[in-house]
A = this chain, B = another copy of it.
Amino acid sequence: MKKVTMMDVAKEANVSKSTVSQYINKRYDYMSVETKKRIKEAIEKLGYQPNYIAKSLKQKKTSTIGVIVANILHSFSTQVIRAVEDYCHEHDFHVIVCNADDDPEKEKKYVEMLQAKQVDGLIVFPTGGNVELFQQMVEQNFPLVFVDRRIEGLDVPSILLDNKKAITLAVEHLLERNYKRIGIITPSLIRKITPRIERIQGYKDALEKHGLELNEQYIKSVDVPLMKDTVKEMLELPEPPDALLAGNDLALMEVLKLVKEEGLEVPSKLAIVGVDDVSFASLFNPSLTTIAQPAFEMGTDAAERLLNRIKGSPVEHSCVTYYEPVLRKRQSS
Contact = CB atoms under 8 A, between A and B. Distances in A.
A52 B117 contact: yes
A30 interface: no
A19 interface: no
A98 interface: yes
Contacts of A118: 51-53
A98 B85 CA distance: 8
Nearest to A141: B1
Contacts of A98: 85, 89
A283 interface: yes
Nearest to A82: B72
Contacts of A284: 280, 283-285
Copies in the complex: 2
Most buried by B among A49, A72, A280: A280
A96 B99 contact: no
A256 interface: yes
A53 B82 CA distance: 26
Interface string A280-295: 1011110100000000
B112 A49 contact: yes
A178 to B, nearest CB: 24
Q: How large is the interface on A (under 10, 10 to 19, 20 to 34, 35 or more residues)?
A: 35 or more
Interface stretch (A54-62, A231-239, A320-328): A54-62
A318 to B, nearest CB: 21
Contacts of A64: 117
Contacts of A140: 1
A116 B51 contact: yes
Contacts of A53: 53, 56-57, 62, 117-118
A98 B279 CA distance: 22
A154 interface: no
Contact of A85 (B62, B95, B99): B99
Interface string A88-105: 010000111111000000
A194 B327 CA distance: 41
Interface string A252-266: 010011001000000
30 contacts: A1-B139, A1-B141, A49-B115, A51-B57, A51-B118, A52-B116, A52-B118, A53-B53, A53-B56, A53-B62, A53-B118, A64-B117, A82-B99, A89-B98, A94-B96, A94-B117, A96-B96, A97-B97, A253-B279, A253-B283, A256-B280, A257-B283, A260-B283, A260-B285, A260-B287, A278-B280, A279-B279, A283-B284, A284-B284, A285-B285
Given A57-B57, A95-B96, A280-B280, 13 more contacts: A49-B112, A52-B118, A53-B118, A85-B97, A94-B117, A96-B96, A253-B279, A257-B282, A260-B282, A260-B283, A260-B285, A260-B287, A283-B284
